[in-house]
Amino acid sequence: MFHFNDQTQFLDNITSLANTYLAPKVMEIDQGYYPLMELEKLGKAGLFAPHLNEYDNRFDLAILANANVGRVCGTSAFVTWCHQVMGLYLDQSQNTSLKSLLDTHKVADTFGGTALSNPMKSWAKIEPMILTAKPCDGGYVVSGTLPWISHIAPRQYCGAVAKIDGADDEVFFVLSFDDDRMGQWQLHECPDFSGMQGSGTLRIELNNYVVQASQIIASPCKDFITRIRGAFVLMQMGIGAGVIMGAIDDIKQGTAVSNAFLEDQAGTLSVELDRLVAKTIALAKTPFETHKDFFLDVLSVREQGALLALKATQSALLHQGAKGYVMSASPQRRVREAHFVAIVTPAIKHIRYLSHQLMGEPQVKPIEFFI
């Protein structure tokens, strides 16, 4: 259905659509408008497809395309990343019942995100698993509350994981907020965030939510997660690289002569970004590598991406001065977008803690780690 042979044309088309549909609404999105109709246009142009099996798992292309979205709007790029990784889960699942959902998901006829922060942190021994599943006839009954999950709404869905009661394993499933299950799920407003307000982020409350066999992505799921975790993290580079590209654009608009005295200039930041993108693209060639050294490399690139996003957006604000500090200016917005890149799971602190564990360092409590 999509053709990605002409990579440049595909990427240019995503840029053009982002400029046409997202750029005029970027402030509204920052303040809470969830741009589903705009993201549908990007989905129809193939943004959610290159990394799928059908298109030879072109993770590089999916990441570069999402960076073009993030260059315009970091919040939108976060939402599109959520959508991309939900597609990854459906695509890599062995459960053929999920094929029809993948078909609508990849062309943005249906929408859904990912609730994997808590499980990822649980596997990294940062916090306990929140959702619990009790086996029942033909499936599971799941309960628990996830505090903030993005790109969800009634009639949408997300990938979620629950710990199976009495077993040393979990079930990874499609959590659908469909009308038939009213009462089993509730979605609640979150507090106002300093950014990402338009990401459709809500609190999920599940009370005996029935998961049927047709909804199961993987169970047992440890091997499945080991296979996809590198791709999950690597794809976040699309958000980070986009925010950095946008910050470099902002720097180029600064006109003060005194800007020459700032440490980080457009040229030096571009060199750093190009290096990081090259590493990302190289890692994206083996997205399902399970060796821990691969995952360590992915975590390292992801951490460097977050740090560079912080540095580049701060530099853009310093370059534009008061003009960039105006509430409608992009530098102040991008600073908040970069903060999110740095704190969303895996946050910089989680990456360091997890890398420490993976490198086989003696187990230490986090507090000791930083002394």
Ligand X SMILES: Cc1cc2nc3c(=O)[nH]c(=O)nc-3n(C[C@H](O)[C@H](O)[C@H](O)COP(=O)(O)OP(=O)(O)OC[C@H]3O[C@@H](n4cnc5c(N)ncnc54)[C@H](O)[C@@H]3O)c2cc1C
φ, ψ of residue 69 to 5 degrees: the values are -70, -45
Options 181-189, 203-211, 311-319, 341-349: segment touching ligand X (CB under 6 A) = 341-349
Q: What residues from 141 to 160 belong to the interface with ligand X (CB under 6 A)?
A: 147-150
* 94 versus 194: smaller Cβ distance to ligand X: 194
CA pair distance 350, 342, nearest whole angstrom: 10
Among 33, 123, 193, 288, binds ligand X (CB under 6 A): 193
The C-alpha R_g of the chain, in whole angstroms, comes to 20
351 binding ligand X? (CB under 6 A): no
Sole window of 5-13, 16-24, 277-285, 343-351 interacting with ligand X (rule: CB under 6 A): 343-351
**Nearest residue to ligand X, by Cβ distance, number only:** 117
348 contributes a contact to ligand X by CB under 6 A: no
Phi, psi (degrees; rounded to nearest 5) at 144: 140, 170
Residue identified by tokens 């959508």 is 83
Residue from 74, 87, 112, 113 in contact with ligand X (CB under 6 A): 113
**Which of 15, 345, 352, 357: binder of ligand X (CB under 6 A)?**
345
Segment near ligand X (CB under 6 A), from 98-106, 171-179, 194-202, 231-239? Answer: 194-202
Using CB under 6 A as the binding rule, whether residue 86 contacts ligand X is answered as no
Alpha carbon 151 to its chain's center: 10
Residue 181 structure tokens: 């299950």
Widest Cα–Cα separation across the chain? 71
Is 114 a residue that touches ligand X (CB under 6 A)?
Answer: yes
User: What is the rounded distance in angstroms from the CA atom of residue 134 to the CA atom of residue 154?
Assistant: 24
Residue 12 engages ligand X in binding (rule: CB under 6 A): no
For residue 196, state whether it binds ligand X (rule: CB under 6 A): yes
CA distance 85 to 81: 6
CB 13 within 8 Å of CB 47: no
**Which positions lie near ligand X, rule CB under 6 A?**
82, 113-118, 126-127, 147-150, 193, 196, 199, 201, 343-345, 347
